[in-house]
Amino acid sequence: MANIKSAKKRILIGQTRNERNKAIRSEVKTYIKRVYAAVESGDKAKAEDALKIAQKKINMAHSKGVLKANNASRKVAHISKAVSSMN
């Protein structure tokens, strides 16, 4: 355990950031699941709406440093491909 005041503060900051990042990652996963659920149900309009929101959430996570650039790009590409391949 840290004894120095600044080290204790850094531990608290790390914990706070970890919780924030975990919440953002979880939110991204939820919106991606909504896209895939809409694709499976066959509702193209609902899938496109869900895609638009999910892309925004993924890009926000990337801008906050939670996701790396290639990871965010890959996630967007996968869900876009799923929606565009609908009949």
pLDDT (tens digit, 0 to 9) for every residue of the chain, 87 residues total?
A: 899 999 999 999 999 999 999 999 999 999 999 999 999 999 999 999 999 999 999 999 999 999 999 999 999 999 999 999 987
Task: Please tell me the predicted confidence (pLDDT) of residue 61.
Answer: 98
Q: How many CB atoms lie within 10 A of CB 31?
A: 19
Q: How many CB atoms lie within 10 A of CB 85?
A: 8
Task: Please tell me the predicted confidence (pLDDT) of residue 86.
Answer: 87
b/e map 40-79, b = 16+ CB within 10 Å: eeeeeeebeebbeebbebbeebbeeebbeeeebeebbeeb
Task: Please tell me the predicted confidence (pLDDT) of residue 83.
Answer: 96
pTM above 0.95, yes or no: no
